[in-house]
């Protein structure tokens, strides 16, 4: 039987050494190589930060600071939604290290997001999901909440800029307005203001988990007024009810298209949902009685998708917005840094949940 701590160490250690290994990628910057600056690496860095926060492992902190120092030595890079993702972890590293160079970078990036000629806005003032080499005209994606909005709120706190924090709140509200499927309580992947539609209206798994994860951490690290907090939580709670409904009956995990069991089980989304749901139960936002069985079933099958070297399996590659479910079903799976990060979050939440002596429901060990 493997314990959580040992598996966590394997998963975190594997992420630090992920390479492209000759795989042909369709994007200008590698989504596979840990040494690149893009959104998958940004999610991975956040997972490693959370691992460091929980373990205090000096080697992990050394890796994180070394990664940013090397990237900053490489010079300026294109600013867009996805390349903003690594900036989130830098806000936490600045609090740990106090390095002026980190704060300078945070200032410059946040200023770009807010200035008129910086981050492109779509209709209703939303952040356009511009990516490396493609402005994605008039497009918004649910991914933006993790990739850019959370960072802006964190930057606002560090820089004492309440306008940054309020802008982040506004962006979350507007993304909910345009992307939430109210009948299901789940999110569509994207919306286009020129088309005036949600593309294929697909309830994509990983897209949905960005809200599940972000909201729990956002409420712990960003000041949110009571009325707004209640609204954000009502969306989260409705989403959790839908996730309970669509969990795979055999494994408790989730399919890459949530309401289509003919699509494959996808582990970055599954681990993300599991982390977000456990976090919600731990903080009293969800009922342990209602969600304990969901958590228990999903946790009992996680190890089936972690290789002996700590690689998280069955993680879909970077996914643009699609026009039908077949598009998502055909996205290939590779070892990805965000899959590793989501698994770190899930395993750590499992440990925190089990370690809470005030709870009567105990989570099963991975075996």
Q: What is the secondary structure of 149-172 as a DSSP string?
A: IHHHHHHHHHHT-HHHHHHHHHHH
* pLDDT attached to residue 366: 47
Say if residue 364's pLDDT is above 70: no
* pLDDT attached to residue 152: 98
Say if residue 95's pLDDT is above 90: yes
| Structure-block tokens of residue 39 | 């959104």
| Structure-block tokens of residue 62 | 């050394």
- CA R_g for the chain: 19
Say if residue 365's pLDDT is above 70: no
Q: Report the chain's mean pLDDT, rounded to a whole number.
A: 93
Cα dist from 55 to 41, 180, 365, whole Å = 21, 36, 19
Say if residue 294's pLDDT is above 80: yes
* pLDDT attached to residue 356: 59
Nearest to 271 by CA among 49, 67, 7: 7
Quote the pTM value: 0.94
* pLDDT attached to residue 180: 98
* pLDDT attached to residue 2: 55
Say if residue 314's pLDDT is above 50: yes
Residue with the bigger pLDDT between 25 and 341: it is: 341
**What are 38-53's pLDDT values in tens digits?**
999 999 999 999 999 9
């Amino acid at each position: 039987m493997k314990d959580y701590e040992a598996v966590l160490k394997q998963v975190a250690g594997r992420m630090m050494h992920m390479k492209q290994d000759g795989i042909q990628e369709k994007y200008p910057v590698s989504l596979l190589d840990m040494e690149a600056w893009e959104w998958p690496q940004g999610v991975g860095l956040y997972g490693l930060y959370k691992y460091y926060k929980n373990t205090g492992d000096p080697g992990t902190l050394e890796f994180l600071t070394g990664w940013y120092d090397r990237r900053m030595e490489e010079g300026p890079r294109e600013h867009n939604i996805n390349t903003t993702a690594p900036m989130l972890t830098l806000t936490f590293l600045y609090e740990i290290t106090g390095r002026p160079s980190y704060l300078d970078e945070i200032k410059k990036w946040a200023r770009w997001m807010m200035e008129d000629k910086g981050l492109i806005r779509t209709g209703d003032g939303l952040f356009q999901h511009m990516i490396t080499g493609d402005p994605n005209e008039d497009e918004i994606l649910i991914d933006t909440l993790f990739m850019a909005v959370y960072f802006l709120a964190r930057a606002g706190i560090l820089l004492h800029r309440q306008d940054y924090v309020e802008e982040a709140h506004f962006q979350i509200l507007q993304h909910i307005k345009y992307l939430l499927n109210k009948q299901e309580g789940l999110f569509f992947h994207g919306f286009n203001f020129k088309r005036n539609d949600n593309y294929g209206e697909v309830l994509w798994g990983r897209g949905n988990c960005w809200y599940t994860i972000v909201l729990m951490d956002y409420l712990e690290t960003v000041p949110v007024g009571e009325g707004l907090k209640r609204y954000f939580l009502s969306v989260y709670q409705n989403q959790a009810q839908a996730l309970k409904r669509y969990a795979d009956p055999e494994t408790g995990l989730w399919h890459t298209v949530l309401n289509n069991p003919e699509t494959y089980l996808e582990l970055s989304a599954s681990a993300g949902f599991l982390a977000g749901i456990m976090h919600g139960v731990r903080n009293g936002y969800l009922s342990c009685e209602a969600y304990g069985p969901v958590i228990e079933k999903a946790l009992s099958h996680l190890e089936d998708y972690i290789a002996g070297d700590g690689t998280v399996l069955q993680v879909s590659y970077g996914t643009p917005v699609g026009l039908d479910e077949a598009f998502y079903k055909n996205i290939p799976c590779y070892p990805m840094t965000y899959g590793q990060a989501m698994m770190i979050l899930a395993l750590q939440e499992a440990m925190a949940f089990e370690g809470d002596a005030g709870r009567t429901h105990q989570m099963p060990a991975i075996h």
